Amino acid sequence: MARYLTGIQPSGALHIGNYFGALKPAVELQELGEAFYFIADYHALTTINDPEQLRKNVLGVALDFLACGLDPDKACFFRQSAIPIVTELAWILSTVTPMGLLERSHSYKDKIAHGLSASHGLFAYPVLMAADILLYESDIVPVGQDQKQHLEITRDIVVKFNEVYGPILKLPEPRIRDEVATVVGLDGQKMSKSYGNTLEIFAPEKVLRKKVMSIVTDSVPIEAPKDPSNSIILQLYRLVAGPAEVEAMTESFRAGGTGYGEYKKQLFEGLWSMFEPMRKRRAELESNLEFVETVLKRGAERALTTAEQTISRVRRAVGIGR
Ligand code: ADP
Ligand code: TRP
């Protein structure tokens, strides 16, 4: 059975772009193979330096994932930092990682361009990510397009390591989720935390409604027909409504006589009812945080077994220990 592994950074409340682009596919994959999903808290230290915030985010992501259907009996779900061996592997890998490989990282250059300071952690980020993937002997790594280069770096590191020490590490295959369309944000750009154009999955009703009402539209008057082809409202509505409802809204756009405010209300209703069961589940989990901790602890115990086998093999191969 193939092992699927992916990490998610606890960098804030998850939005519906994250849901359709990452959470939902991850939940579907847990049925197909052996799923390893972890919360990348060591990675998050490259951007968050408030300990309370980090702890809060980690718990938030755990709740979001479990509420959205991650089944802890199927997937192995854990905190990255629960297995500190990963940092040992990262160090060992770093000794065979060419500087040039990391210097070419788009993600690093992007982050610096966006004002993050150039720390060693940020620079070495792809090496820790390689360690995540290799420690758990992953076959397939489902990620978004933005992580493609990181997967290439991982594969280069494997080739390099195995060249020097023999066939020790398993070469993983990326699975780029480009079949999942990019979810559009309130302003028409890609929905992203960094653009401030998001709809959070678990935002309170009032907040979510207000955000939906703020979706950018053109200024076609109520009576006039409206163009359905580029409408942000319709693009989002497609994610939460059935084909018949989408068709009805499209027709109504063409007919004219209805204002955008009305469509936004329908979108809000669709969104609100789609996530209703997840909200309920999240509230239950929130009042049972011990259960959440138990899930993460059990996940870590399972992950540790594989991690120890890999690190022993690696230590032996490189000559660490007796
Ligand atoms: P953000 O852009 O809000 O910072 P992240 O980069 O943390 O989001 O995204 C985590 C995962 O969620 C990514 O791997 C990506 O696949 C998915 N994702 C993020 N935004 C979108 C979007 N607008 N549409 C589809 N998937 C998305
Ligand atoms: N860098 C990934 C992201 O920002 C998160 C991540 C960390 C990851 N380690 C991983 C993803 C290992 C896949 C495999 O989305």
Given the residues 24, 160, 190, 265, the one annotated as active site: 190
Which residues does 108 contact at the CB level (< 8 Å), separation at least 6? 102, 122, 123, 125, 126
pLDDT of 177 = 78
The neighbour count for residue 52, using CB atoms within 10 Å, is 7
Task: Examine the residue annotation and report whether 264 is marked as an active-site residue of this protein.
Answer: no
The alpha carbon of 321 and the centre of ligand 1 are apart by a number of angstroms equal to 41
Ligand 1 atom, smallest distance to 185 CA:
23
> Right CATH number for 203-274 from 3.30.70.20, 1.10.240.10, 1.10.1740.10, 3.40.50.620?
1.10.240.10
DSSP secondary structure string for all residues of 60-84: HHHHHHHHTT--TTTSEEEEGGG-T
Q: How far is the CA of 158 from the centre of ligand 1 (A)?
A: 27
Which of 285, 291, 296, 294 is CA-nearest to residue 58?
296
DSSP type of residue 191: P
Choose which residue among 18, 107, 110, 198 to substitute to test ligand 1 binding: the one with the highest number of ligand atoms within 8 A of its C-beta. 18
Q: Which atom of ligand 1 is nearest the CA belonging to 191?
A: 23
Q: How much distance in Å is there from the Cα of 6 to the middle of ligand 2?
A: 6
Q: Which of 111, 211, 226, 264 is catalytic?
A: 111
| pLDDT tens digits in sequence order for the chain, 322 residues long | 899 999 999 989 999 999 998 899 999 999 999 999 999 999 999 999 999 999 999 999 999 999 999 999 999 999 999 999 999 999 999 999 999 999 999 999 999 998 989 999 999 999 999 999 999 999 999 988 889 999 999 999 999 999 999 999 999 999 987 656 789 999 999 999 889 999 999 999 999 999 999 999 999 999 999 999 989 999 999 999 999 999 999 999 999 999 999 999 999 999 999 999 999 999 999 999 999 999 999 999 999 999 999 999 999 999 998 8
Active site residue 24: no
3-183+289-318: which CATH number, 1.10.1200.10, 3.30.70.100, 3.40.50.620, 3.40.50.2300? 3.40.50.620
Which pLDDT does position 146 carry in this prediction? 86
Domain spans in the chain, listed from the N-terminal domain onward: 3-183+289-318, 203-274
Residue 206 is predicted with a pLDDT of 98
Q: For residue 206, indicate whether it is catalytic.
A: no
d(CA 153, CA 130): 8
Output the residue whose Cα is nearest ligand 1's atom 2.
Answer: 192
Strand partners, 34: 3
Handedness of CA 190, 191, 192, 196 (dihedral sign): positive
Do residues 195 and 208 touch, judged by C-beta distance below 8 A?
A: no
pLDDT at position 179: 59
